[in-house]
Every structure is written in C-alpha cells, then in structure tokens.
Amino acid sequence: MNRLVECVPNFSEGRRPETVQAIIDAIQRAAPVHVLDYSSDADHNRSVVTFVGAPEHVEAAAFAAIEKASHLIDLNEHQGEHPRIGATDVCPFVPLRGVSLDDCVQIARRVGQRVGEELGIPVYFYEAAAARPDRVNLEDIRRGEFEGLREVIQTDPDRKPDFGPAALGSAGATVIGARPFLIAFNVYLDTDDVEVAKKIARAIRHSGGGMRYLKALGLLVEGRAQVSMNFTNFEKTPLHRVVELIRREAGRYGARVVDSELVGMIPQAALVESAQWYLQLDNLKPEQIIENRLTELLSDAAARAAAEETVRILPSGARRAPESPLRPEGFIQAVAEGTATPGGGAVAALCGALSAALAAMVARVTVGKRRYAEVEDEMRQVAERADQLTAALTDAIAEDVEAFNLVMAAYKIDKEDPKRAEQIQAAYMRAANAPLHVARLALDCLQLAETVAEKGNVNASSDAGVAAQVGLAAVEGATLNVLVNVKEFANAHLAGQVRGEVVAVRDRARVAYRRVMATLEARAELK
C-alpha cells in the first residue's frame, strides 16, 4: 500500500459488543481496509475503532460505519461518562503515508456532505477541516452534549451544522475532521473523588493554562477518578512530562497515580521517548533498538533481492532486465480467459498506470538537460506525482477485480436471506466506486501528460502523446464501467450524483486530450 490514511471513529456504544461488532463488520465489508484495533469502555459507553487503508477505501468504509451506527445507536437512550453528541460522535482522518493533511480535509468534506445529505445527520467539521474558526476545537462543538444541542440546533444560528438538517434525530450529530496523529491516554488515581481528577485536568490542559498540545477531562470510571487525555502532538508535549505533572498535582490533594490506560494505538516513538526519559538513557540511538535494526536489515535484504531480480548476469557477462516486467503475458492471459474478472475495469486501471509511467519517463528524460533547465524543478514534481499515480492505479487493478467478485458473490446469497438485497447494493456501490476512482486518477494522468507534452523533452513527444492516449482510454473505459454499475443502484439520487461526476470527469479528459494533441502538433512543426 503506497498511500495510507488512518480513520479513528468514536461510537457512543461501549456496553453491547454485538453492536460494536456489527459496525466493524460494516467497515470491513465496505472496502479493503485493515482494522488495526478497537476498544470499548462501559463507563464511558463508548468505543474507538482504528482502521487504515488507501484514501478512497477509508472514505467508503467511514461512511459505511457512520451509516450502520445511525441504525443501531439511539442517543435518546444513551448514557455514559464521556461527552458526546452523536451515535458516531467523532470521525477524524489522519494522514499516514503518501497523503497530506489537506488530502484528509477533502476526504472529511466529502464524507460529511454524504452523511448530511444521504443520512440526514447534522455534520460539523473540526480541526483542519473546520469551516469556521470557532469549530476547530472538538470541545467547542460538543459543548452541551446531545441534550443541549437538541434544544438549540433549530434556533441558534451559531449551532447550525455545516451539512445536514438543523434538527437531531436518534443518531444525533457527527463531528468529522482531519488532524495529525492523536494519542488517547488515561491516568487513574487512588481516589473516588472525581473533583480531584477534574481539578488536575483543568491544571494540565492547554485551555486551563497547562500543556500546549493536551486536552484533558476529569471523570469517574469504575469507582475511580480518571484523568482522560488526548495528546495532539506527543513530540512537543510528551507523555512522561504530563504523567509527572499529574503526579505532582495529585499529591496536592493527597492522591497518587496507580495506573494508566492507552485507548487505541500509539507510535513507537512516543513510548521510546518516555522510556528514554525515565531510564535516563540520554545517549540512546535508534539503531540500538533491535526492532529498528531488524526492520532496517529486512528492508536492505528486500532491496538487494529486488536488485538481483532486476539485473541478471548472463554467461557472456552482459546484463539484462528480467523477463517479467517486459512480458506481461500473465495479465493478458487472465483477461482472455473468458472469466468475468479481470475485465474492462482492470484494463482501464492498467491503461491509467501506463499513462502515469510514461509521463514520469518523459519528465525524467527532461531533467538534467541544459535546454530545459527552467522547467527542471517542475519536471521533478511531475515525476514524483506520476509515480504516486502509477502506484495508485496499479493497486486499482486488483481493487476492480475484487469489487466485481463481490457483486458475483452477493448474487449467490440465498434468495431467502433478508440481507441479500442490501449486500447486492453494497457490492454494486463498491463496483462503481472502483472505476470512478480510476477515472479521477486517470484525469490527473492526462493533466501530467499535458504538462510534459508542452514543456518536456521534445525528443520524447511521441511518448507524451501515448501517455495522453492511454490516459484517455483509462477514463473512457472506467466511465463505461461506472455507468453500467450505477444502473443497478436502488438509490436514484446517489446514482445520479455518481453518473454526473464520472461524465464530468470524462468530458474534462476529452478536452485535455485534445489540448495535448494540439500542443504536440505545434511542437512538431517547430522542432
């Protein structure tokens, strides 16, 4: 996986394991994402799920989770220690690899719009996705909780949601956003006096004049006072410093820290930093940690193996590349087999990957040439973006195959099964989303082809032209696959939205293709 986004939705349910499992099942059915962790707390009556995947897959899975939670969790009956306003109370997207925070903002906005329009749930954007400065902080949006928001959402313009109706149903409202990695960490005290925990929380959190990147609440959990915290930047506000501050504050009230608790996941660096501080290992080097060293060695071994496979030594001493990259018979034969997959969608994705690869090639044969010194930086950027698109579209080949296999599997479900229709619809949505994603990426490929056609090495003009041709083929082929799948949507409004988007992408691609051809013809005359 080359591009990774993390999603950490918090659900207002921590006492019914079957409900939490149903939500996790919905996540895993919606897209090929990996659920890394989930935890539930009965006193908080809250569950936190952590899953990762490619951006488009995480986006689909997040919406499915919010939809499922809205059917299973009734905020009118919910009680718990933790503040909340919705069944899916908060849903943040976190960039992990090959993805920017702004990319996650766009994911949050798209999911939020769908939740508001399709599910009728009020949506507020927070952190980096906030549409208003007074909604950056989650606690400001959640003030008054579900019961307080229910009273004012219809009358107070300051509480009007960013998307969705200005009214709360049983699923409440949902806060959706984008943010850096966050650590949820709780400390327990040897007292049942919750006021002690509240005083400590006020003293240590940023809003109370404490640590800059720390949010904290004082709660009573299982008869013990708990300081519940969110670290929004563990590098600048480390765990050990906060724990020591809690110890000192607790001592003022005759209390002490007895244990702590991690909610969700934590980066290794946060634990290493705390261990280094407590053990006073000031000169600890990363390579002294055996897991780091093993990872480095395994990576080196993998790189060496790849190099040995890429360049083979012949008996004559000459070198040549292995046959596999230049002889794609396996994929071609699989397409020709007469089976439903791989089919046109996978071939469209392959065309897109080839388009991006050609754009990268033209950019790289431009870099380093004195004649093109003025565009060298731009060509480097084109090559980098093209590499990202090549990887994403290569991944999309398998995604298209898997998506349509799910359609065929859904039709094999017993016709008496009440969930059969729902499964078929979910499969068709995924089968439409896969080529829609290919069309979007392939349009980006065409735009790169346009750049290298205009500014790249003129000796590679034909390669830029082929990049545009296979890029357009990718968009056209993906569009056909989207249109054939949306015909099966039961939701006519959603079908219209998807159909409208892919046709718009196709039209933009055709215009871009014509511009590339005109540019190449003009450059050929000047050559």
Instruction: Cite the active site residues.
Output: 82, 400
What secondary structure does DSSP assign to 419-487, as a single string? THHHHHHHHHHHHHHHHHHHHHHHHHHHHHHHHHHHHS-GGGHHHHHHHHHHHHHHHHHHHHHHHHHHT
Contact 465, 444 (CB under 8 A): no
CA distances from 205 to 140, 165, 301, 312 (A): 15, 33, 46, 60
HEC sequence for 490-518: CCHHHHHHHHHHHHHHHHHHHHHHHHHHH
Angle, alpha carbons 180-7-438 (nearest 5°): 105
Cis amide linkage into residue 342, ω under 30° from 0: yes
63 φ, ψ (degrees, to nearest 5): -65, -45
Length of the chain: 527
What secondary structure does DSSP assign to 200-244, as a single string? HHHHHSGGGTS-TTEEEEEEEETTEEEEEEEES-TTTS-HHHHHH
